[in-house]
Amino acid sequence: MTVKILLERKFKEEPSLEEIKTINELRITAMGKKGYVRRSRA
């Protein structure tokens, strides 16, 4: 079974550079986990 999860980020204030780096690190780590399916561009 395939599940697609979409995350929408909303900030009360503009995120700082450090916060953006942290979000990107979490995303990259999640992409490397077993079961992650990359979105194909058709």
User: What is the pLDDT tens value at each position of the chain, 42 positions in all?
Assistant: 677 777 787 888 998 999 989 989 988 898 888 877 676 665
Model confidence pTM above 0.85: no
DSSP 1-42: -----------SSPPPHHHHHHHHHHHHHHHTSTT--PPP--
